[in-house]
Amino acid sequence: MTAPSPWWQRGVIYQIYPRSFLDTDGDGIGDLAGIEARLDHVARLGADAVWLSPFYPSPMADFGYDVADYCGVDPIFGDLAAFDRLLARAHDLGLRVLLDFVPNHSSDRHPWFQESRSSRTNAKRDWYIWRDPGPDGGPPNNWISDFGGPAWTWDEATGQYYLHAFLKEQPDLNWRNPEVVAAMMAAMRFWLDRGVDGFRIDVLWHIVKAEGLPDNPVNPDWREGVRDRDRLIQRHSTDQPEARALAAQFRRMADGYGERVLVGEIFLPNERLARWYGTAEEPGVHLPFNFQLIEQPWDAHRLGDVIAAYDASVPAHGWPNWVMGSHDAPRIAGRIGEAQARVAAMLLLTLRGTPTLYQGDEIGIGRVEIPATRARDPQELRQPGIGIGRDPSRTPMPWDGSPDAAFSTAEPWLPLNPDWRTRNVAAQEHDPGSMLHLYRKLLALRRDRPALALGSWHALEAPSGVIAYERRHGDERLTVLLNLTAGRIAIPWRADPILSTLATDPEPGALRPDEGLILA
């Protein structure tokens, strides 16, 4: 008998952005008590785990991805007791809880960095990456911050530069220093000991830099109007073997706690992504995030190839996963429209691999225009107007049609989706044809059918505009047909339709415009 597959293979992860879930203390910003109060929404949806974006003490230069204390809760969000209540409630509902662990950088307000910058001889100097100026008196190398501009900031007091892959308020930790490794692993243990079920690990492929910090090669494809970061290829600043060794060390620690899961946030092509699974003997993270549904154009032919190539690239000891939205990525319904977003939901929830859903996508929040005066995202503020702002994906959850959509009693920190009076959780609850009900049906089906949760994936021949595949597990066979176009496409399907993305009965021998079908 084979061992039952672990929950994180069968399950579905739901990402919560704490600032924007529910505000219970009237400051216009969501909090932990708000998450606790609305976890039943996630449980009813049918997800298995929540991943919470950071809620640690932070000056919020990057909205929590600048951590000033890895073992606390920012007062904006509550306190440790509020976290413990949230965790207990989640476990009562059968939901696992993953925290966001941010190892590449701390806040410049973290006491470690304050000490490190206090003098060249401070015991924590080497906890961060300090260097003398380059030969021309400028930065030590040509690296560019992911948010634009140089990745080095000059420190007048001690006469050296420090490295930051993101904002200057986010100095990179030096993971080549064993004291840093020990301190950060202790922080992970702090939460594992409290009962959390794992971590999503922020920019995991960034944490170690090549020895000697050589210049990165120039990207010949960069052109004006594209983000500054992409002027260079991040060959020496990311994806180092030493970082994968650290991932294996995290894995050994997590496995020591039983069935915990580590999700690595990594942006790499298939062959390089696959290396983050480690080996069967020495595994790396359980799930190196796969962002291809976000990155690829919405085209059946292209996506069909991408899915097949990714599925084939996952090593036998690994397990695939799929992401279609996040607090960093444009909203799927904004990108492809609501009708296709329903097809996208069916795709995400019928592929082989653990899906990650992003809050608000289950009600189809689409494009939100953020007026320049309300822009908050540092990425937008530093490179305005080129369409890389992340605020539109971070707008508050609209719960019902009452003032401020019952998100808060104060003005929300970001505007709501403009159609919140009709597009909110309560309204969709009452509409059996809504996106919310479609998501629930898809999640329920995935839970019921091992072919969907665990089965193998096989591409099927399909007419242009259609993605078709079969999922197989034991004797069970399910066929998925997805029409990525707004036209009717004849396709000779037989078998029994068990779910359509459209509300009315399927039409034998065809896919209707914007229709996805699951057949048994």
Q: Which of 197, 202, 380, 515 is catalytic?
A: 202
Q: How far is the CB of 154 from ligand TEU (least distance, A)?
A: 22
Contact 400, 426 (CB under 8 A): yes
- Residue placing its CB nearer to ligand TEU in the complex, 62 or 108: 62
* Radius of gyration for the chain, computed over Cα atoms and rounded to the nearest angstrom: 23
Residue burial 272-298, b: 16+ Cβ < 10 Å; e: rest: ebbbbbbeeeebbbbbbbbbbbbeeeb
- State the CB neighbour count (10 A cutoff) for residue 403: 9
Rounded CA-CA distance 375/266 in Å is: 26
- Residue placing its CB nearer to ligand TEU in the complex, 69 or 419: 69
Q: How far is the CB of 170 from ligand TEU (least distance, A)?
A: 6
| Gap between the terminal Cα atoms of the chain | 27
- Widest Cα–Cα separation across the chain: 76
Rounded CA-CA distance 163/157 in Å is: 16
Contacts of 271 (CB under 8 A, 6+ apart): 313
- Residue placing its CB nearer to ligand TEU in the complex, 146 or 228: 146
Rounded CA-CA distance 257/267 in Å is: 28
- Residue placing its CB nearer to ligand TEU in the complex, 36 or 377: 377
Rounded CA-CA distance 15/229 in Å is: 26
Q: How far is the CB of 166 from ligand TEU (least distance, A)?
A: 4
Beta strands in 437-514 (DSSP E): 456-459, 466-473, 476-483, 489-490, 497-500, 510-511
- Residue placing its CB nearer to ligand TEU in the complex, 43 or 201: 201
Residues of this chain that bind ligand TEU (CB under 6 A):
62, 65, 102, 146, 166, 202-203, 265, 267, 327-328, 388, 390
Burial of 231: CB neighbours in 10 Å, binned 0-12, 13-18, 19+: middle
Per the listing, tokens 């000056």 go with: 59
- Is 202 a catalytic site residue? yes
Q: How far is the CB of 202 from ligand TEU (least distance, A)?
A: 5
Q: Quick one: angle between helices 32-45 and 435-448, nearest 10?
A: 70
- Residue placing its CB nearer to ligand TEU in the complex, 31 or 265: 265
Q: Residues in the chain, how many?
A: 520
Q: How far is the CB of 390 from ligand TEU (least distance, A)?
A: 6
What's the Cα-to-Cα distance from 208 to each of 48, 64, 81, 185, 211, rounded to whole Å? 32, 21, 34, 15, 9
- Residue placing its CB nearer to ligand TEU in the complex, 102 or 405: 102
Q: How far is the CB of 229 from ligand TEU (least distance, A)?
A: 8
- Residue placing its CB nearer to ligand TEU in the complex, 265 or 515: 265
Contact 428, 440 (CB under 8 A): no
Contact 354, 362 (CB under 8 A): no
Q: How far is the CB of 328 from ligand TEU (least distance, A)?
A: 3
Q: How far is the CB of 141 from ligand TEU (least distance, A)?
A: 20
Rounded CA-CA distance 20/2 in Å is: 42
* Secondary structure, 3-state, 489-511: EECCCCCCEEEECCCCCCCCCEE
- Residue placing its CB nearer to ligand TEU in the complex, 202 or 228: 202
- Residue placing its CB nearer to ligand TEU in the complex, 226 or 459: 226
What's the Cα-to-Cα distance from 92 to each of 39, 41, 133, 197, 396, rounded to whole Å? 10, 14, 55, 14, 26
Q: How far is the CB of 422 from ligand TEU (least distance, A)?
A: 29
Q: Which of 265, 362, 391, 515 is catalytic?
A: 265
Q: How far is the CB of 240 from ligand TEU (least distance, A)?
A: 16
152, β-bridge pairs: 163
Contact 285, 251 (CB under 8 A): yes
Catalytically annotated residues = 202, 265
